[in-house]
């Protein structure tokens, strides 16, 4: 094989073009300016994005559904309202009664007397064999402190008195 038949191009063989200035880039005084000649490459400042009326894909889903303010620092039982919880079972043993509740997302938790439950700072005041009693302290619209007692029964009977 001959050496001269396999000629590899070198950098000296590549044609070089000197930058030329177009009439749009040449100023009146003859100096060269950097003005883009293609208007489609210029940033368009006439368009803007208005996110109103659209949901934020990065916001928590519970907050978007209007289920109240979502505070990730709260324990799971304090994020869920009392009406949304299901009382699954009541267990009794050496330490007294313990109740099992289920949140809407399907997770189960055990509660006993003194456990904080619900977004309104409710406290489980009693666990009986029929259900749990939760006391909530709140301030009404007139500014006076009120206390509400919420009873969650284990199995509400049909036609019971």
* Domains of the chain, CATH where assigned: 71-153 (2.30.30.830)
Per-10-residue mean pLDDT of the chain, 161 residues long, equals 60 59 54 58 69 76 53 84 91 91 93 91 92 89 89 74 53
Phi, psi (degrees; rounded to nearest 5) at 10: -105, 175
pLDDT of residue 23: 53
The pTM for the full model equals: 0.52
Give the 3-state DSSP-derived string for 73-132, with helices as H, strands as E and coil as C.
CCCHHHHCCHHHCEEEEEEEECCEEEEEEECCCCCEEEECCCCEECCCCEEEEEECCCEE
pLDDT of residue 119: 84
Phi, psi (degrees; rounded to nearest 5) at 91: -115, 135
Per the document, the length of the chain is 161
């Amino acid at each position: 094989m001959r050496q001269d038949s396999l000629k590899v191009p070198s950098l000296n063989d590549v044609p070089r073009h000197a930058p030329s200035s177009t009439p749009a880039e040449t100023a009146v005084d003859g100096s060269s300016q950097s003005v883009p000649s293609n208007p489609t490459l210029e940033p368009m400042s006439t368009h803007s994005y208005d996110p109103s009326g659209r949901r934020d894909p990065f916001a928590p889903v519970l907050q978007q559904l209007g289920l109240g303010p979502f505070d990730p620092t709260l324990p799971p039982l304090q994020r869920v309202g009392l009406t949304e919880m299901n009382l699954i079972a009541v267990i009794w043993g050496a330490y007294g009664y313990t109740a099992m509740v289920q949140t809407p997302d399907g997770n189960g938790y055990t509660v006993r007397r003194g456990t904080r439950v619900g977004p309104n700072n409710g406290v489980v005041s009693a666990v009986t064999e029929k259900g749990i009693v939760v006391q909530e302290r709140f301030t009404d619209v007139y500014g006076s402190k009120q206390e509400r007692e919420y009873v969650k029964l284990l199995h509400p009977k049909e036609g019971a008195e």
